[in-house]
Amino acid sequence: MGILILSISLVMLEGWLNYTGYIFHFLWLSNFAEPLNFLIAGLLFLFIDSQLEPEKSKLYWLHFLPFLFWLSYCLFYFLQPEAVKYNDTIETMQLNIPKIEESQTFSDDPLKIRVHTNLLTGAYFTIYIFLGSRKLFKKAKTLREPILKTSNETLKSARNISAHTIIVTLIFILVKLLFKNDVGDHFIYLYLSFMILMTAAQIMNQSSYYNKVSNFLQVPSLKYQKSSLNEVEKSRILNAVILQIEKEKYFLNSTASLTGLAKAIHESSHHVSQVINESLEQSFFELLASYRVKEAKAILQTDLGKKLTIEEVAERVGYNSKSAFNSAFKKHTSQTPSFFRDS
């Protein structure tokens, strides 16, 4: 998602340079974002795919091949003299100013495919819309929920992302049908701005920053005020959390995180955090520590545990540091691991 927002921002930066005319001061940047046309839809698909099936091993790098190919092909254009880029910008933006004399030592489009950039971009987005939609309907069928009225937060998020992608693609097609070359792209940038604004609002609304007391605005009691979870959903999420922790022993993972746990049970981090806080009256990290200390106590009471070093016991229960393990153990038992084992 981070790479996606960066890519969209760079595309919009190029549009800003073109529409303001500042591109003539930075001709070496001309069309620098064009390869990103073949990255954005793939990133959206990867985000959806990783949300719906986070545990599967996949060859994600294959989805970057269209971008890498187009980036390599655009080198024929990027290496052209500034006069070529100057004239190209005038033609693209339909500016009523004279062109200058230019000379090319090699073609900027040897395979004659850059002239079909818009068509190829539309086909690229259409393919990924199909792939993403197929994933969504397959997931909805597995969950036995209607995709338009699903209560599953992960599926709902993926569905909304797909809807935005379809809308952007439709705007793109209309712009290319109604406007010559790139003029009219400001309609796309306007909608992309709306998407970034809504994403930023969602991040701020659901950030784990609000799961702890703020140093600036002391309003921790309001953090779940707008939650849409009912008691049945809370119970379902709680059962999934307990199952993942106790049966799958998620807490033994040294990289265990709230986000990772949420992905494992296909829920949003915000809702998982809310359920843990409200139902168990502790934070995610307090829950993690309690299970790790319980597991460590069991190990320390065995013959094997008496032979292991404290560092080895810490690693077995998910801690990467002896000091962190000692602190958590002492907080829960009022004893150090060494004293507990000796006694």
Quickly tell me which residue has 């995610």 as its tokens.
284
Model confidence at 79, in pLDDT bands (50, 70, 90)?
Answer: very high
Q: Thinking of the domain 231-342, which architecture would CATH place it in?
A: Orthogonal Bundle (1.10)
Return d(Cα 85, Cα 81) in angstroms, integer: 7
Model confidence at 209, in pLDDT bands (50, 70, 90)?
Answer: very low
Residue pLDDT, tens place only, 29-44: 999 999 999 999 999 8
What is the token pair recorded at 272? 């998982």
For 178-183, the CB contacts below 8 A with 24+ separation are: 180/94, 181/91, 181/92, 181/93, 181/94, 182/15, 182/18, 182/92, 182/93, 183/92, 183/93, 183/94
**Contact of 4 with 128, CB cutoff 8 Å:** no
Angle at alpha carbon of residue 135, lines to 234 and 130, rounded to 5°? 140
Ramachandran quadrant class, 85 (left: phi over 0; alpha: psi -120 to 50; beta: rest): alpha
In this prediction, residue 218 carries a pLDDT of 37
What is each CA distance from 317 to 324, 325, 337, 341, in whole angstroms? 12, 9, 13, 16
What letter represents residue 257's amino acid? S
**Contact of 279 with 236, CB cutoff 8 Å:** no
User: 3-class SS at 97?
Assistant: coil
- Minimum mean pLDDT range among 204-218, 271-285, 292-306: 204-218
Model confidence at 146, in pLDDT bands (50, 70, 90)?
Answer: confident
pLDDT for residue 214 is more than 50: no
What is the maximum alpha-carbon separation in the chain?
Answer: 90
Angle at alpha carbon of residue 100, lines to 99 and 102, rounded to 5°? 120
What is the token pair recorded at 114? 């850059």
pTM of the model: 0.57
- pLDDT averaged over every residue in the chain: 85
How many other CB atoms are found less than 10 A from the CB of residue 342? 10
Return d(Cα 68, Cα 124) in angstroms, integer: 14
Model confidence at 213, in pLDDT bands (50, 70, 90)?
Answer: very low
Q: Where in the chain is the domain with CATH 1.10.10.60?
A: 231-342
pLDDT for residue 207 is more than 60: no
DSSP summary character for residue 254: T
Average pLDDT over residues 302-322: 90
How many other CB atoms are found less than 10 A from the CB of residue 224? 17
pLDDT for residue 81 is more than 90: yes
335 Cβ neighbours under 8 A, 6+ residues apart: 329, 343
Residue pLDDT, tens place only, 230-243: 888 889 999 999 99
Task: Residue 69: name the closest of 15, 117, 18 by CA.
Answer: 117
Helix axes 284-300, 269-279, angle to 10 degrees: 70
pLDDT for residue 182 is more than 80: no
Task: Residue 125: name the closest of 188, 43, 184 by CA.
Answer: 43
Return d(Cα 33, Cα 188) in angstroms, integer: 15
pLDDT for residue 60 is more than 70: yes
Q: In terms of pLDDT, which residue wins out, 201 or 311?
A: 311
What is the token pair recorded at 299? 């190990």
Return the H-helix or E-strand segment holding 231.
Answer: helix 231-246
Proportion of the chain in helix, strand, coil states, percent, rounded to 5: 70, 0, 30
